[in-house]
Each structure stands twice: as structure tokens, then as C-alpha cells.
Amino acid sequence: MPSRPMIGYAHVTKSFGALRAVDDVSLDIAEGEFLAIVGSSGSGKTTLLRLANRLIEADGGTITIEGGNVQDIDPVALRRRIGYVFQSGGLFPHLSVADNIGITPKLLGAPAAEIAVRVDELIELMQLDRASHRDRLPEALSGGQRQRVGVARALAAKPRIMLMDEPFGALDPLTRDALGEDFRELHRKLGLTTVMITHDMTEAILLADRIAVMRGGRLLAQGTPAELSASTDAYVLELLRTPRRQVERLNALLLQGGAA
């Protein structure tokens, strides 16, 4: 593990009224790592993610980004250097695909010509069609295309860190699979550090290097899928059992079908 984590949480807490959404969480994410945070709704995983770019402010503990305490960084500047992909895309409905993608470079004051080149680059990278998508409004796109635009927008200002809040959750299985694979490839190619939230353990195992399991605001376990299966926590084991059971049932069904 490198001496300095890309993102570091140390004893971080956050409460909403009486609810402890994040309870004494310590977690390091190394440069180039793809971490998935898994948990059911209300487990505190989204809160944990939003603490990193100060969409939510922590009550206690320390969060560092590339070694710097986030409290010492202007939140607006912080958010501009971190890519963020929203659950349902979060695209601005009144802006074209190109304007959505180019928004963060525009906020950073990049020249229009430079932004246009970058937008075309990203449209290509995200395997969108320049001619038919570039100047359309988001409402004209399919769900998968919209999420591709959401990823392109998060990448536009060339961030080193990507935060993704259930990015593929609302998509049909085929699109979801393709998009997940494509992003995994992009993560590697661009040398990103990625934190992705999902409630789907299968997706987490397929895409992530390491998995963190949240429950009731606490971090129950973290590690590679193999390390997790050695966990003694009942909930973690239960989570891991689900994909396994699915595989077994699928195999059984498919074999049965083959025999017939």
C-alpha cells in the first residue's frame, strides 16, 4: 500500500438529528483502486460518499483527498476536481448533451474551443454518437445513453478521483452489464481512483478491486472478495451468499435445460 491514500477517512462521523448515518468509519482508498461500497438503503453509504466532496459536511473525524484535509479546501474547488456520477444521471434537462458534458470545464474558465474538443473526445470515449447525440437534450436519450453522458460529464475536467452513486442501478441488465464493463476498462485506462456505491454484491464483485460493507452507519468489513469470504460477520457472509446462490441456481437450471 502506498504511503499516502488517495482518499482517507479517519474516525468519520455524521448524524442527521438522532440518526447516526456514519458512525466512526475509517477507510483508505489507494491510488488507482476501484472500491465498491455495498449496503442496503439507509446503511450510510451515500452519506459516506458525499462527505468526500463536501456535499455533506462531517461532524467529526478527518477526511483527506490526495493527502489534503478536505476542510482546508474550498468546497467548490474540491468538487470541480472530483468527478461525481449521480444515481439517475442528474443531467440538466435544459442543456444539450454537449453543454452538460462541458459544464465543469466551463465553470473552470476553459476556452470554448478547448471545451468543444474535450466534449467530442468524451462522446467518443463513452461510445456515444456525435452526430445524433451531441446537440440533443437529455430527454431524447435512452437511460443507458443518459448515464454515459453522466459519466462523460464527471470525466470532463480530467479528475483523478471518481465518485459514483449507484451509477448503473436504474438500467436494464444488458445495458448495465455493458456500461459496467466499459467503465471498468476506462478506470484502468485513465488511471482513475474510483469509489462506487451499489446495493448489488454481484456487481461489486465483478467490477471492484476491493469491497467495503456498510450497515447501520458502521463499516462492517473491507477487503477483496476473497478476503471478505473469510469474514466471520454474519451479515457480510449473507451478502456474499446471494451471488453464490444465484450462480448455483442458474447452473442447475441451465444444466437441466441442457439435459432435456
Quote the CA–CA distance of 86 and 90 in Å, as a whole number.
6
Q: Which of residues 163-192 bind another protein (CB under 8 A)?
A: none
Quote the CA–CA distance of 55 and 58 in Å, as a whole number.
10
Instruction: Provide the minimum distance between the beta carbon of 109 and another protein in the complex, in angstroms, as a whole number.
Output: 12
Q: Confirm or reject binding of residue 107 to another protein (CB under 8 A).
A: yes
Count of other CB atoms within 10 angstroms of residue 250: 10
Candidate list 153, 176, 187, 215; residue touching another protein; CB under 8 A: 153
Integer Rg of the chain from CA: 19
Candidate list 10, 30, 103, 116; residue touching another protein; CB under 8 A: 103
Quote the CA–CA distance of 86 and 170 in Å, as a whole number.
11
Q: Confirm or reject binding of residue 93 to another protein (CB under 8 A).
A: yes
Q: Confirm or reject binding of residue 230 to another protein (CB under 8 A).
A: no
Per the structure block, which three cell numbers stand in for 101? 458534458
Q: Confirm or reject binding of residue 91 to another protein (CB under 8 A).
A: yes
Query: Of the ranges 21-29, 80-88, 114-122, 211-219, which one interacts with another protein (CB under 8 A)?
Result: 80-88
Pairing of β 193-198 and β 161-165 = parallel
Instruction: Provide the minimum distance between the beta carbon of 149 and another protein in the complex, in angstroms, as a whole number.
Output: 12
Candidate list 73, 116, 125, 137; residue touching another protein; CB under 8 A: 137
Are residues 101 and 123 in contact, defined by beta-carbon separation less than 8 angstroms? yes
Q: Confirm or reject binding of residue 194 to another protein (CB under 8 A).
A: no
Per the structure block, which three cell numbers stand in for 215? 450497515
Q: Confirm or reject binding of residue 88 to another protein (CB under 8 A).
A: yes
Q: Confirm or reject binding of residue 160 to another protein (CB under 8 A).
A: no
Q: Confirm or reject binding of residue 104 to another protein (CB under 8 A).
A: yes
**By CB under 8 A, how many residues form the interface with another protein?**
22
Query: Of the ranges 101-109, 182-190, 192-200, 252-260, which one interacts with another protein (CB under 8 A)?
Result: 101-109
- Give the residues lining the site for another protein (CB under 8 A): 53, 55, 76-77, 79-80, 84, 86-88, 90-94, 103-104, 107-108, 137, 153, 157
